[in-house]
Amino acid sequence: MPEVAAFDRDPNSTQRQTIDESGSRWYVAQTHPRAEAKAAEQLGRQGFQIYLPRFLKRRRHARRVETVTAPLFLRYLFVSVDMATQRWLSIQSTIGVARLICNGTAPAVVQDSIVDALKQREDESGLIKLNPRPFRLGEELRVLDGAFSGTLGMFEGMTDNERVTILLDLLGRKVRVSLDMESVAAA
């Protein structure tokens, strides 16, 4: 019988326990706003295996940029349930859970390949690696903040550390500028 890792009490901990996955299938639980970690912890305490995919997100606040972990799917997490042995209706009344996604009265099954594909994209720290959203070469971009705020430019490329290189038309000349991804948007 295959064994899979399950979160012990804390969904963010690296400490894991193994459980038997004989008849378990993956389902999706919708959580209350910003309650994904709380729901994962409560479901883990009830003996359910959960999977809460996370990624590193850059957050801007008060002219500061910080990197924080955030759920990949806001308000959703995966729950593995063996319908023959576990009481799945208790998921509906778990703290942090709004509802279990259902087709009619039965929970909607998620294909194992979807969860496996997400797990394969995780790095060694358990975070999903996302490809930065590249713009098309020559696409017109608007600078959102900084000294060039409101200026239009053409996308030229990306640097190694998630910065965008654009060509700005300043004083009749093309000037190459490198900016943070969050500082530009499609025009």
5-28 pLDDT, tens digit per residue, is: 444 334 444 333 334 446 899 999
Across residues 146-154, what is the average pLDDT?
A: 88
Q: Which residues pair with 50 in a beta bridge?
A: 79
Residues 148, 168: contact at Cβ < 8 Å?
yes
Residues 109, 26: contact at Cβ < 8 Å?
yes
Q: What's the pLDDT band for 133 if we cut at 50, 70, 90? A: low
CA–CA distance, 70 with 53 (Å, rounded to integer): 9
pLDDT for residue 57: 81
Type of residue at 111: Q
In the chain, where are the structural domains located? 3-120, 140-186
Convert the pLDDT of each residue in 107-131 to its tens digit.
999 999 999 999 999 999 999 887 6
SS3 25: strand
**158: its two tokens:** 């990306």
Type of residue at 92: Q
**What's the number of CA atoms in the CB half-sphere (13 Å) around residue 52?**
26
Type of residue at 156: E
Q: Is the pLDDT of residue 145 over 70?
A: yes
Which CATH number is 140-186's, of 2.40.128.110, 2.40.30.30, 2.60.40.3880, 2.30.30.30?
Answer: 2.30.30.30
Which class is domain 3-120? alpha beta
Q: Is the pLDDT of residue 132 over 70?
A: no
Across residues 143-148, what is the average pLDDT?
A: 86
Convert the pLDDT of each residue in 45-102 to its tens digit.
999 999 999 988 877 777 777 888 999 999 999 999 998 898 889 999 999 999 999 9
Within this chain, domains 3-120 and 140-186 share the same CATH topology:
no
- Per DSSP, 37 falls in state H
CA torsion sign, 35 to 38 to 43 to 49? positive
